[in-house]
Amino acid sequence: MNLEELHFSSMELKTEPLIDDTTLRDGVQMPGLAVSPEEAAEVARLLDEVGVERIELHHFQESDKKAARLIQDMSLDARVAGWCRAVKADIDNAMSCGFDEVGISHPVSHIHFRAKWPGMTEEELLQRVVEAVEYAAKDHGLRVFVHGEDSTRADWDFERRFVNAVAEAGAECYRICDTVGVGLSDPEAPLPNGIPAKVKAIKAETKIRDIEIHAHDDFGNAVENTMAAIRAASGVWDRIYASTTFLGIGERAGNAETEKVIMNLYMLYGVKKYEGKTRMLKRLADLIGRATGYRIPPNKAIVGDYAFAHESGIHTHGVLNNPLTYEPYPPELVGNRRRLTIGKHSGRAIVKHKIRELTGRTPTNDQVEAVMSMIKLIYENGRRASLKEEEFKRIISDLGLS
């Protein structure tokens, strides 16, 4: 698609962004959600199709193990990784599922240390993680990502030692975890919660090969903080992983949405590798909604049923003349569709259009006014929802227009 035709330009990134989707790990930790092994495998297949480079899985319950086997049997292009605590038993569990790559999660903030291990020193905590990383990376040859839980509230002097220690132990990537969403995207924001500052400090002051951002949405900033990390990595890191979940599902307020990060990268930063793949986004969103029992908000950006819906007079009139008036890109680009609905705020243009669409004839102004009067009466009597097509057909039939 020619972006100039859409009347906006894209920025160029000097880093390779990689999507590390954790829908089937962090996402399904959202209260009330569950997914069967077969549906998890189908979700993974579609994640692979949309261009996700790494898929993170749970693997501790029997159903999770079955899902992991089904996913690995598909031989996806995306890498498949397990998630572990800094415990050898968790790493053994991951290896028993056939993973050759794991993420090892451990807190790095003193808030967590005091709550979870009040009797341990910093050196003891470091040693605990180093032993787990060495066990996975050096003893068993696994690729290891280390997740710095609560990174955005961590003491930088300790976190720097932590990152260097796990790098020396064999970890290839360090994940900045904005665990409670307090990260700031402002390039001037200082450590510990300045996201750009942290991305650059880790490059300048540690030996780790790769970096990752995992943002939570407690303040509604998860996507912005993810994009801020990617921008900060440009010209600094060869690559940066973005840990996301589809639809933003996950603990508490959830995570950065995979679909939003992909569309930001593709449309606003010119990342061409998603070209031709974005049309799968709506299909994948609907699958995850059905598979997990999650109800997708109809106005959810990109993949919601109403993401390209228009009802008010000024909007429908504009879209009927040129969809770009109220749409940044065609809905087909993400597998969605345009919906022009009749409701309380509808104007003459959409009513005239719908009559023509349903009857094949252009109504007179008087006929349009008669239909408008009927619609107004319906909403004066307390109707809230948009009219269903059958209801609109009944109106025009009652007026002898069908």
Three-state SS sequence of 264-328:
HHHHHCCCHHHCCCHHHHHHHHHHHHHHHCCCCCCCCCCCCCCCCEECCHHHHHHHHHCHHHCCC
Structure confidence at residue 1 as a pLDDT band (50, 70, 90): low
Instruction: Report the C-alpha gap between 127 and 166 in whole angstroms.
Output: 10
Half-sphere exposure (CA, 13 Å, Cβ side) for 370? Answer: 13
Predicted TM-score (pTM) of this structure: 0.94
User: What is the pLDDT averaged over residues 344-350?
Assistant: 89
Structure confidence at residue 6 as a pLDDT band (50, 70, 90): confident
Judge contact between 52 and 25, C-beta under 8 A.
Answer: no
Average pLDDT, the chain: 96
The count of other CB atoms within 10 Å of the CB of residue 53 is: 19
Chain region(s) in the chain for CATH 4.10.430.20: 309-398
Tens of pLDDT, residue by residue over 162-172, are 999 999 999 99
Tens of pLDDT, residue by residue over 35-81, are 999 999 999 999 999 999 999 999 999 999 999 999 999 999 999 99
Structure confidence at residue 2 as a pLDDT band (50, 70, 90): confident
User: What is the pLDDT averaged over residues 316-320?
Assistant: 91
CATH 3.20.20.70 fits domain 3-292 = yes
User: What is the pLDDT averaged over residues 94-114?
Assistant: 97
Closest Cα to residue 307, out of 321, 297, 317, 316?
297
Instruction: Report the C-alpha gap between 220 and 309 in whole angstroms.
Output: 23
Chain region(s) in the chain for CATH 3.20.20.70: 3-292
What pLDDT was estimated at residue 146?
98
b vs e for 257-291, b when ≥16 Cβ sit within 10 Å of the residue's Cβ?
bbbbbbbbbbbebebeebeeebebbbbbbebbbeb
Instruction: List the CATH code of the domain at 309-398.
Output: 4.10.430.20
The SS3 assignment for 241 reads: strand
Structural tokens at position 242: 């973005």
How buried is residue 141: exposed, middle or buried, by Cβ count under 10 Å (0-12/13-18/19+)?
A: exposed
Tens of pLDDT, residue by residue over 201-213, are 999 999 999 999 9
Residue 118 pLDDT > 90, yes or no?
yes
Structure confidence at residue 4 as a pLDDT band (50, 70, 90): confident
Structure confidence at residue 402 as a pLDDT band (50, 70, 90): confident
Q: What percent of the chain has pLDDT over 90?
A: 88
